[in-house]
Amino acid sequence: MGSAIAELRELGAELADLGGIGAVLHWDQQTMMPPRGSAVRAERMATLERISHERLTSERTGEMIRAARTELADGPVDSIDAGVVAELERQYEKDRRVPVELAVEIARAASEGFELWQAAREASDFTLFAPALERNLRLTRDYIACFEARDDPYDIVLDDFAPGMRTAAVEPVFAALKAELSPLIRELAGRELDDSCLSVHYPVEGQRRLVGQVLALMGFEDAGWRLDDSTHPFSTSLGVGDVRLTTRYSAEYFPMSLYGGMHECGHGLYDAGIAPELQRTPLASIRSMVMHESQSRLWENIVGRSRAFVGAITPLVVGEAGGALDGVGPDRLFRAVNAIRTQPIRVEADEATYPLHVILRFELERELLSGALAVADLPAVWNQRMLDYLGVEVTSDADGVLQDVHWSALLFGYFPTYALGSLVAAQLWDAARLELPDIDAQLARAELTPLREWLRENVHRHGSRYSDTELLERVVGGGIDVRPFVGYLTDKLGDVY
């Protein structure tokens, strides 16, 4: 191993440590920190960001990257060393264009914005959050301006969550999705389907036991995982053997905690499955939220809402409900958890309406960033489009424009990855079924290990060694494709309705 490579691996390890430390601070802030701690926490986050930024973007890093390229010239192109250098170079080329003051201000604004969003959401009053959103948009425009112009300014932020993805590639995919899903939703939303069993009073303690048991089937182990409560469910990996999930509970709607938990556990399995030899390198952190979201949505929806697995867990679901679900059988539960629900909350959306929630946000954040839409007008426009796309009347900011954390934390460019993740999930599912012919029977026995191991082998263990394009080529033999998702969904909804 050459000396420049060795030095870059050291730098990579340090940056991985700083990233992991940031993840602890973030997790703590969202789950444990008393509210008055937020101002100081924002300073801590900003300092951490400044140190990471300085270390990554130093002149020395540039020199080492150039020297490492020479050292690597005669080696295999897909060695871990080559991957580490390439990933550091990608990050270096991005971050060095961003002045440290801006990077620090963004980190601070994200931490402060989160607190303001929480308060605004609590009060269901968008005007409390509007100034933070204005600032976050300004900072994001400043961030975009650091880079050479591309086809679309949005490409810059999209690339942060889906490296290599272009806006011009997302638009036709979303147009096709909208064209396929809108008539499907129109047709089915009017049909009678009794999903009243989802709205029974289900004691939260019973839900905790239910979620615990289902996550254990997926691979959650107390020795290396935690599950906590938070307003906005999330998953984070603080390192090998320390995966943290959160979910939230409503006594009147138990699918929120169950499927939220499975969703986050899907993320957690990805992080937990990264190969040991990639640990403390930049490849041990998943850069593509498209791939990450494919995992969470695969577990939540394709597994979690399948006829086979719902059948397997019906006794658990009924058993922990304190009598409220007595007499409910697998078929009724399966159909209820797959019902088309035209309602305002993205994270509670069914699989068919979900992409439209995402497309709405994709449109709105592009308009906000370009200035075509003013912050003050956002709630009205949001509500109007919810009516247009889904026929949903939004009655409060909390259930409308304030429902998601992302814009508070400057995560513009993140939303599209959710819908793209659904598409990739269906593609991976098709590939897995070919190699696991017994999968339906396994799900019907709540036997999730074969699928998890297949995903680990084909997806998880690689960490960020491959781009989405490369990884998809390896596993499904092509790029992102709308058809498997639409086919999967049409089949299932045909079974449900």
Active-site amino acid positions: 264
Closest CB 123 distance from its own copies, rounded Å: 17
How far separated are the first and last CA of the chain, in Å rounded? 60
Identify whether the C-beta of residue 12 lies closer than 8 Å to the C-beta of residue 84. Answer: yes
Identify whether the C-beta of residue 154 lies closer than 8 Å to the C-beta of residue 142. Answer: no
For the chain, how big is the Rg over CA atoms in Å?
22
Closest CB 493 distance from its own copies, rounded Å: 39
d(CA 244, CA 233): 11
Burial 121-142 (b: 16+ CB within 10 A, else e): beeeebebbbebbebbbebbee
Q: Which stretch binds its own copies (CB under 8 A): 29-37, 293-301, 320-328, 336-344?
A: 29-37
d(CA 103, CA 77): 32
> Per CB under 8 A, does 275 bind its own copies?
no
> Residue 385: which H helix or E strand, with range?
helix 378-390
Contact with its own copies (CB under 8 A): which of 85, 130, 144, 238? Answer: 238
Please state the separation of Cα 312 from the chain's center in Å: 27
- Alpha helices (runs of H) in 190-329, residue ranges in sequence order: 204-218, 255-272, 289-297, 307-319
Contact with its own copies (CB under 8 A): which of 25, 80, 216, 381? Answer: 25
> Per CB under 8 A, does 28 bind its own copies?
yes
> Per CB under 8 A, does 226 bind its own copies?
yes
Total Cβ atoms within 10 A of residue 57? 21
> Per CB under 8 A, does 14 bind its own copies?
yes
> Per CB under 8 A, does 279 bind its own copies?
yes
Q: Which stretch binds its own copies (CB under 8 A): 13-21, 109-117, 165-173, 451-459?
A: 13-21
Closest CB 460 distance from its own copies, rounded Å: 17
Residue 434: what residue type?
Answer: L
**Between 3-31 and 38-56, two packed helices, what is the crossing angle to 10 degrees?**
170
d(CA 197, CA 337): 9
> Per CB under 8 A, does 43 bind its own copies?
yes
Closest CB 291 distance from its own copies, rounded Å: 22
Contact with its own copies (CB under 8 A): which of 35, 76, 327, 494? Answer: 35
**Phi, psi of 482, rounded to the nearest 5 degrees:** -75, -30
> Per CB under 8 A, does 114 bind its own copies?
no
> Per CB under 8 A, does 239 bind its own copies?
yes
Stretch 434-463 residues interacting with its own copies (CB under 8 A): none
> Per CB under 8 A, does 169 bind its own copies?
no
Q: How many residues does the chain have?
A: 497
> Per CB under 8 A, does 280 bind its own copies?
yes
Tell me the number of residues near its own copies by CB under 8 A: 37
d(CA 481, CA 177): 10
d(CA 81, CA 393): 53
Total Cβ atoms within 10 A of residue 15? 22
Contact with its own copies (CB under 8 A): which of 6, 7, 48, 447? Answer: 48
Quote the DSSP letter at residue 274.
Answer: S
> Per CB under 8 A, does 225 bind its own copies?
yes
Closest CB 336 distance from its own copies, rounded Å: 34
Closest CB 274 distance from its own copies, rounded Å: 12
Identify whether the C-beta of residue 143 lies closer than 8 Å to the C-beta of residue 158. Answer: no
> Per CB under 8 A, does 51 bind its own copies?
yes
Contact with its own copies (CB under 8 A): which of 32, 168, 376, 387? Answer: 32
Task: Name which of 281 and 417 has its Cβ closer to its own copies.
Answer: 281
> Per CB under 8 A, does 231 bind its own copies?
no
Q: Which stretch binds its own copies (CB under 8 A): 108-116, 161-169, 216-224, 404-412?
A: 216-224
d(CA 93, CA 10): 18
Which strands form 225-229's sheet, in the order they lie side by side?
225-229, 243-247, 235-237
Q: Which stretch binds its own copies (CB under 8 A): 1-9, 19-27, 85-93, 485-493?
A: 19-27
Mask 240-269, x = binds its own copies (CB under 8 A)?
xxxx--------------------------
> Per CB under 8 A, does 324 bind its own copies?
no
- Alpha helices (runs of H) in 126-166, residue ranges in sequence order: 126-145, 154-161
Contact with its own copies (CB under 8 A): which of 6, 7, 18, 134? Answer: 18
> Per CB under 8 A, does 222 bind its own copies?
yes
Residues near its own copies (CB under 8 A) = 13-14, 17-18, 20-21, 24-25, 28, 32-41, 43-44, 47-48, 51, 222-226, 238-243, 279-280
